[in-house]
Amino acid sequence: MVTGMPTPGGNAAAMRDDDLRRHVAAELSWDPQVDSEAIDVSAADGTVTLGGTVASLWLKRAAGRAAARVRGVTWVANELRVQIPGAYRRPDEDVRGDVLEALMLDVSVPMTIDVQARDGFVTLTGTTQWHYQREAAESRTTDVPGVAGIDNAIILTQAPDARDAVDAISGAVRRHAVLAAEVLSVETSFGRGGDPVRHGEFLGRARSRGGRRLVGTWRHSG
């Protein structure tokens, strides 16, 4: 084969990538919550990359959600940069105070979380018992004006035994009306000798993108 000459498969793949790029761009334009004019879209083998600059972290995540729901997208590389306009930049102490207040107003977020802020970037520290509490804290922080980025360093106080966790998740999947028909398996890694895993990730092998997202990561201070 001559280097650089297109192949029929390559042309078809390029055509699919171009179609996916156009569909994602159309979805971004359709969503009133997204500033699509500032976003560049590229696609390759189901992976969509978003580039450009937006005015808030909330807008960045809204664009990522919009791209993720387009049929054919298997992964979103959200490389949007957050650049808060000068008129909306706020002192670090004000950002920290508003994040703390937002967390206190959410009953799902425990009082064991602390916040640091520097130049619009917020670090969440402390502990939670459950992963959903860790995610809720990050979600609430995203909505606070002036936040340009988040480092979620919250640690879970309990790490489940990996085998017990897999059994529990598998049971939940079987009870789920949609996932029961889609998910093929649930797996994780084990610590040495079957010990509880201090940091790991549950993965579900499923037929659809929605079915693949079962559980996030957990971290144990140990």
Is the pLDDT at 6 greater than 70? The verdict is no
Is the pLDDT at 103 greater than 90? The verdict is yes
The mean per-residue pLDDT over the stretch 190-198 comes to 45
Q: How confident is residue 206, by pLDDT bands cut at 50, 70 and 90?
A: low
Q: How confident is residue 193, by pLDDT bands cut at 50, 70 and 90?
A: very low
Between 156 and 215, name the one with better pLDDT.
156
Q: Where in the chain is the domain with CATH 3.30.1340.30?
A: 86-156
Is the pLDDT at 196 greater than 60? The verdict is no
User: Domain 8-82, what architecture?
Assistant: 2-Layer Sandwich (3.30)
The mean per-residue pLDDT over the stretch 75-89 comes to 92
Q: What is the dihedral of CA 157, 161, 164, 166, to 10 degrees?
A: 90
Q: Which fold has domain 86-156?
A: Histidine-containing Protein; Chain: A; (3.30.1340)
pLDDT attached to residue 9? 43
Measuring CA to CA, which residue among 149, 214, 162, 150 is closest to residue 184?
A: 214
Between 26 and 218, name the one with better pLDDT.
26
Q: Is 35:60 a contact under the CB 8 Å cutoff?
A: no
pLDDT attached to residue 159? 59
Q: Is 157:128 a contact under the CB 8 Å cutoff?
A: yes
Is the pLDDT at 218 greater than 90? The verdict is no
Q: How confident is residue 88, by pLDDT bands cut at 50, 70 and 90?
A: confident
**Lowest-pLDDT choice from 89-93, 125-129, 159-163:** 159-163
The mean per-residue pLDDT over the stretch 78-103 comes to 94
pLDDT tens profile 41-81 = 999 999 999 999 999 999 999 999 999 999 999 999 999 99
Q: Where in the chain is the domain with CATH 3.30.300.130?
A: 8-82
Q: Mean pLDDT, the chain, as a whole number?
A: 79
pLDDT attached to residue 80? 96
Measuring CA to CA, which residue among 162, 192, 165, 186 is closest to residue 174?
A: 186
